[in-house]
């Protein structure tokens, strides 16, 4: 039973890490495009600068979650599962908020 739970915890941590990396990548891509637009992209660049610390924190949480799930034991698996799911959820909400903001500006 604990082996199955460990596998589930690792998968959740990996999905959370993937979500956080997608969010960071999207923010970096937006920032790069905004800088190329100069003054016209200033508001987007400001928004991205405000969101990057959140994205970085979520990514750090997801990395710690993956490390916990691979260390073995039920308690680290539980902590890793919760941390990985939380990091992924924060990243998804951040990505959705950024996309909504960009749509409303056009």
Task: Quote the tokens at residue 101.
Answer: 């903001």
Q: What is the pLDDT of residue 22?
A: 97
Query: What DSSP string describes the chain?
Result: -HHHHHHHHHHHHHHHHHHHHHHHHHHHHHHHHHHHTGGGGHHHHHHHHHHHHHHHHHHHHHHHHHHHHHH-SHHHHHHHHHHHHHHHHHHHHHHHHHHHHHHHH-
Q: Cα(first)–Cα(last) distance of the chain, in Å?
A: 51
Q: Give domain limits for the chain.
A: 2-100
The pLDDT score that the predictor gives to residue 59 is 96
pLDDT at position 105, please?
Answer: 72
Confidence of residue 1 (pLDDT cuts 50, 70, 90): low
Q: Give the integer Cα–Cα distance in Å for 27 and 98.
A: 8
Whether pLDDT at 106 is above 70: no
Contact criterion met (CB below 8 Å) for 62 and 87? yes
Over the stretch 15-63, which tens digit does the pLDDT of each residue have? 999 999 999 999 999 999 999 988 888 888 998 999 999 999 999 999 9
Q: What percent of the chain has pLDDT over 90?
A: 76
Under 8 Å between Cβ of 95 and 26: yes
């Amino acid at each position: 039973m604990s082996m199955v739970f460990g596998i589930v915890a690792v998968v959740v941590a990996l999905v959370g890490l993937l979500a956080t990396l997608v969010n960071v990548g999207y923010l970096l891509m937006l920032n790069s495009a905004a800088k190329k637009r100069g003054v016209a992209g200033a508001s987007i660049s400001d928004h991205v600068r405000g969101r990057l610390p959140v994205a970085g924190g979520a990514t750090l949480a997801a990395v710690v979650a993956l490390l916990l799930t691979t260390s073995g034991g039920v308690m680290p698996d539980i902590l890793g599962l919760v941390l990985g799911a939380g990091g992924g959820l924060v990243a998804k909400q951040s990505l959705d908020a950024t996309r909504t903001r960009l749509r409303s500006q056009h």
